[in-house]
A and B are shown apart, each in its own frame.
Chain A
Amino acid sequence: MTEIYLTHRISLEGSEKLEVIRDYGAYATAEQVIKSLEPDQVIELVKASGLRGRGGAGFPTGVKWGFMPKGHQGPRYLGVNADEGEPGTCKDRIIMEQDPHLLIEGIVIACFAIRAEHAYIYIRGEYLKSYRVLADAIAEAEEAGVLGDDVFGCRGLSIRVHLHRGAGAYICGEETSLMESLEGRRGHPRPKPPFPAIAGLWGMPTAINNVETIANLPAILDKGVEWYRSLGTKNSPGNLLFGVSGHVLNPGVFELPMGTTVKELIYEHCNGMRGDLPLKSFCPGGSSTGFLPASAVDTPMDHDSLMGVGSMLGTGGLIVMDESVKIPEALEVLAAFYHHETCGQCPPCRESCAWCHVILKRMLSGKGKPKDLEMLQEIFNMSCGGKTICVFPDALGVPVRTALKHFREEFEALINKGSVKTNAVA
């Protein structure tokens, strides 16, 4: 049986309550860390653990913290990205709703490490339950002396957690637009540099970390770097919360080591495909990681392996599609989403998402043209790869490229015959 440390308490009745999980080790690690380590030692341990961000990009967390200037006078901030907007992703919600104190304990450790007094949790607006549970948990933690002034009785150590609800914009999950939104402006990504570590929230050094990333911290500091590195793969250590949705019998969130194969996820943990239709395609880590063919089902779910097949680990939100799915239609759904969600400040992104959507809609209405496929490629050649402030166009560019690479014949059929045949049972 896999060792689990993110969802180990969620089966307990009332796992969101401090009184219930106190006996299961809640806040013990944080207290020990604060009382026995120096902040820089924590950063070094997190660096050594190889913990990589769970928000999608997989940047090493300790390295990110290390970019924050050492001699800075004045406030530093921790931003907790709980916007969870990537289609197919639903893992942070499990932590926030069922073990909010795990997140808060991680926040206490992170704040101590980067010397931040204030942490802001930017929570997806639609996550009303998560918000309520977290708000109660924060109040409990304040009551228990875990948050507030003189944390764990350590004089002069203040840590405060603020909850901020988003208003339903995908782009606000991008760390710089998250900061803009948090500061009260439109959620438009900021040009980098400066990076948030240098000038983030209100111009101060800021670390923005994903909920799941933060939730990894208590276990790393409790059980040690070596233990942590024994889980997962060399370059992708630890467990990941895989959120599986789509045409499987048992969809859900599963805590498994990095490197678990897609096949194992679908056929062991999700009890296989729903109905009689075989697997056709899957998006390994949320919609922006693109469409991979069924033949890639043996790919281990870790950063390197998925890069190797032209995709990304992303958020680990696996979307499973059986043969009833017409890829051009699925792609059109994504195009509609990204067309709607591009913030619109950079013309290449704003217009490429719109253009792509227009072409796909026309193709699906039976009016596709032979040059459309070239154009779809070309649109994203023109907009992806650093041509915009953030990487948003790539989030549609990857699905477009992978769909055309692996399922080109469906698009060609759509253009030539006006429709796509699938193996779906009518």
Chain B
Amino acid sequence: MIKLKINGQEVEVEKGTTVLQAAALIGIEIPHFCYHPALKKVGSCRMCQVEFTAPGRPYVGISCRTDVVDGMVVETHSEAAINARKATLEFLLTNHPLDCPICDKAGECPLQNYTFIHGPSTSRYDDPRRKYFKRKHLGGHIIYDAERCILCTRCVRFMADYAKAPQLLVEGRGDSSVINIFADRALDSNYTGNVADICPVGALTLEEFRFKVRTWYLDPIPSVCPYCSRGCNINLEVRKSHNRLFRVRPRENWDVNGYFICNEGRFRPLEATDGKNRLLECTVNNQKSSYLSAVQKAAELIKGHDGKLLVVASSRRTVEELYLITKLFKSIPGVRLVAAAPDTEAPDGILRTGANAPNERGLLAFGYEVLSLEALGEVMAGKETDGLVMLDASINLDERMRESFRFILFMDYIATGVSEIADVVIPGLAWFEKEGTFINVNHRIQRIRKALKPPAPTLKDDLYTFAELYRRIHDQELPQTAMELFDALAEEYADFKGIDYKTIGTCGASLSREGGE
């Protein structure tokens, strides 16, 4: 361990810690642009300068690349340190366009924030500012503004080191340097969206986010990405007054995704929340129905089946829903509980696991029979079933399957070929409208949160619907909130012992099994 003093405060840290990190440990934030904990250190932006008064003669130097040594004395707010940072900011601002009023980064911009805290309040530069291109499409959802760029090279290093797609470069020399793509070959990595997050100014912006909303109107709702079994932690950034999702950004979690997410997790939710193909009304025999009569009809059909009922759950459903589905159907004789295995692709070696559903582990925890899509198709085409309860909007039926069922119940939030022909349709909520948990590929249980209000007030939470059905079929009340249900299932299933919503928190909790992918 190394002992040093920062602003008079003793701190003891491990060898190899940088001064910037050591300061952060005791709550002293040293401003920085080029430094990012996930990227190689270049030490070029000169924003993290502090004064080292011992050992040796006092000098001003950067803290992001300087390792701590015993007896080191660091002053972050000596006159020399303050002046050095002020100078860096004055230099950066000489040619910055200061178009904050129309810049998407304003409000969450490190350059803007540091200028308020550490910078000079006026500029002594009164010559014309450099003119550069302000909107170059780099591909991969990214638009580049060369005037705002401070050339910290975070984006270049991110693409090379993290995304393993070295597609960005610094082009030109000195103050005519810009960030660019090679020979106008568009960015094509699945991780490009992150460069807009790590850009410490408004130089790299997302096509999907540009000029849509000021950042200070956004509320980040912590959730989990449902598009593969990694379960990357995300924030759904919504404008509550508009009930609209504007942006998805990664939420730091070193047990899951570190600092980043892939483009699917970033952009697919924006499409998913656009309301297309949403089921908004209950139907019975293709006629609009009230919720209660649809539930009543569904309960009757389930109760009246002839002993062969196929229930298709889904790896997209929450742990709590899967628990309720199990509870609802398990004790009914002749029910076969199945689910389709998620569609798979090769893992990308970064974040994507290749299993494109959030909760396959949840299915396994409750003992569902998980079938391949082909196998499930065979089962559905077979003649040995009377009724079908379809709880997965990603599965479709073909003609011959339609003929193999006497009745079909459909419960999910997207219209499909199945919902079109179902005898009873009870639409539910999307993952961004409800509470619950998913278990990721590494047996980590994590919470999703309600970020948006459902598009129609008549829509009911699936948990409520399952509990209603349970009451009508089994004549018994069940809890209807995710939290209460989780407490109940944690009592019942050993996998979840000792875990409650509080332990899961915003970062998730490990189910303490033999891990591995």
Measured CB to CB, the residues of A under 8 A from B are 169, 186, 188, 191, 339-348, 350-355, 358-359, 362, 375, 378, 382-383, 386-389
How far, in Å, is A65 (CB) from chain B's closest CB?
Answer: 24
Considering the chains assembled together, what is the distance between the CA atoms of A340 and B174 in angstroms?
Answer: 6
Give the interface centre of A350, A353, A354 by most chain B CB atoms within 10 Å.
A350
Q: Is B18 an interface residue (CB 8 A)?
A: no
Interchain CB contact under 8 A, A345 and B44: yes
| Contact for A354 among B44, B59, B61, B175, CB less than 8 A | B175
Q: Which chain B residues lie closer than 8 Å to A351 at the CB level?
A: 91-92, 94-95, 175
Q: Which chain B residues lie closer than 8 Å to A350 at the CB level?
A: 91, 151, 174-175, 177
How far, in Å, is B82 (CB) from chain A's closest CB?
Answer: 12
| Contact for B150 among A347, A352, A388, CB less than 8 A | A347
Interchain CB contact under 8 A, A191 and B60: no
How far, in Å, is A371 (CB) from chain B's closest CB?
Answer: 8
Interchain CB contact under 8 A, A344 and B43: no
Considering the chains assembled together, what is the distance between the CA atoms of A169 and B59 in angstroms?
Answer: 30
Q: Is B273 an interface residue (CB 8 A)?
A: no
Considering the chains assembled together, what is the distance between the CA atoms of A27 and B47 in angstroms?
Answer: 51
> For chain A, what secondary structure do more than half of its interface residues adopt (helix, strand, loop), or is it mixed?
helix
Interchain CB contact under 8 A, B87 and A346: no
Q: Which chain A residues lie closer than 8 Å to B94 at the CB level?
A: 351, 354-355
Could you list 10 examples of A-B contacts with CB < 8 Å?
A191-B43, A191-B44, A339-B174, A345-B42, A351-B94, A354-B95, A383-B87, A383-B91, A387-B88, A389-B43
Q: Which chain B residues lie closer than 8 Å to A386 at the CB level?
A: 59-61
For B95, give the chain A residue with the smallest CB separation.
Answer: A351
Q: Is B49 an interface residue (CB 8 A)?
A: yes
Given A347-B46, A389-B43, A169–B91 Cβ distance below 8 Å? no
Task: Give chain B interface residues in 92-141, CB to chain A under 8 Å.
Answer: 92, 94-95, 124-125, 127, 130
Considering the chains assembled together, what is the distance between the CA atoms of A375 and B123 in angstroms?
Answer: 12
Query: What is the interface size of chain B, counting residues whose CB is below 8 A from a CB of the partner?
Result: 35
For A378, give the chain B residue with the smallest CB separation.
Answer: B124
Considering the chains assembled together, what is the distance between the CA atoms of A342 and B130 in angstroms?
Answer: 16
Q: Ordered nearest first, which 8 A-B pairs have the shortest CB separation?
A: A382-B87, A351-B91, A345-B44, A191-B43, A342-B174, A344-B177, A344-B174, A354-B175
Q: Is B170 an interface residue (CB 8 A)?
A: yes
Considering the chains assembled together, what is the distance between the CA atoms of A378 and B44 in angstroms?
Answer: 21
For B44, give the chain A residue with the smallest CB separation.
Answer: A345
Q: A347-B150, A354-B95, A386-B59 are in contact. List 11 more A-B contacts (CB 8 A).
A: A191-B42, A341-B173, A343-B174, A347-B88, A354-B94, A354-B174, A354-B175, A362-B127, A382-B90, A382-B91, A383-B91
Q: Is B224 an interface residue (CB 8 A)?
A: no
Q: Which chain B residues lie closer than 8 Å to A359 at the CB level?
A: 127
Q: Which chain B residues lie closer than 8 Å to A341 at the CB level?
A: 173-174
Task: Give chain B interface residues in 337-360, CB to chain A under 8 Å.
Answer: none
For B91, give the chain A residue with the smallest CB separation.
Answer: A351
Considering the chains assembled together, what is the distance between the CA atoms of A175 and B49 in angstroms?
Answer: 24
Q: Is B452 an interface residue (CB 8 A)?
A: no
Given A339-B175, A340-B174, A351-B175, A346–B45 Cβ distance below 8 Å? yes
Q: Which chain B residues lie closer than 8 Å to A191 at the CB level?
A: 42-44, 62, 65
Q: Which chain B residues lie closer than 8 Å to A387 at the CB level?
A: 46, 49, 60, 84, 87-88
Given A344-B151, A375-B124, A353–B174 Cβ distance below 8 Å? yes
For B87, give the chain A residue with the smallest CB separation.
Answer: A382
| Contact for A348 among B59, B65, B87, B170, CB less than 8 A | B87
Considering the chains assembled together, what is the distance between the CA atoms of A352 and B44 in angstroms?
Answer: 15
For A351, give the chain B residue with the smallest CB separation.
Answer: B91
Please encode chain B, from 50 to 85, with 1 for each CB lying within 8 Å of some chain A CB and 0 for all others. 000000000111100100000000000000000110
Considering the chains assembled together, what is the distance between the CA atoms of A388 and B151 in angstroms?
Answer: 14
Q: Which chain A residues lie closer than 8 Å to B92 at the CB level?
A: 347, 351
Given A387-B46, A387-B60, A342–B90 Cβ distance below 8 Å? no
Interchain CB contact under 8 A, B173 and A340: yes
Q: Which chain B residues lie closer than 8 Å to A389 at the CB level?
A: 43-44
Q: Which chain A residues lie closer than 8 Å to B60 at the CB level?
A: 386-387
Considering the chains assembled together, what is the distance between the CA atoms of A259 and B6 in angstroms?
Answer: 47
Q: Which chain B residues lie closer than 8 Å to A353 at the CB level?
A: 174-175
Considering the chains assembled together, what is the distance between the CA atoms of A389 and B65 in angstroms?
Answer: 11
Give the interface centre of A339, A346, A375 by most chain B CB atoms within 10 Å.
A346
Interchain CB contact under 8 A, B61 and A347: no
Given A340-B174, A341-B173, A355-B94, A347–B124 Cβ distance below 8 Å? no
Interchain CB contact under 8 A, A342 and B173: yes
For A186, give the chain B residue with the smallest CB separation.
Answer: B170
Interchain CB contact under 8 A, A345 and B151: yes
For B61, give the chain A residue with the smallest CB separation.
Answer: A386
Considering the chains assembled together, what is the distance between the CA atoms of A382 and B170 in angstroms?
Answer: 25
Interchain CB contact under 8 A, A345 and B153: yes
For B156, give the chain A residue with the smallest CB separation.
Answer: A186
Q: Which chain A residues lie closer than 8 Å to B153 at the CB level?
A: 345
Q: Which chain B residues lie closer than 8 Å to A343 at the CB level?
A: 173-174
For A361, give the chain B residue with the smallest CB separation.
Answer: B127
Q: Which chain A residues lie closer than 8 Å to B90 at the CB level?
A: 382
For A358, give the chain B residue with the smallest CB separation.
Answer: B127
For B175, give the chain A residue with the smallest CB separation.
Answer: A354
Task: Give chain B interface residues in 175-213, CB to chain A under 8 Å.
Answer: 175-177
How far, in Å, is B238 (CB) from chain A's closest CB?
Answer: 36
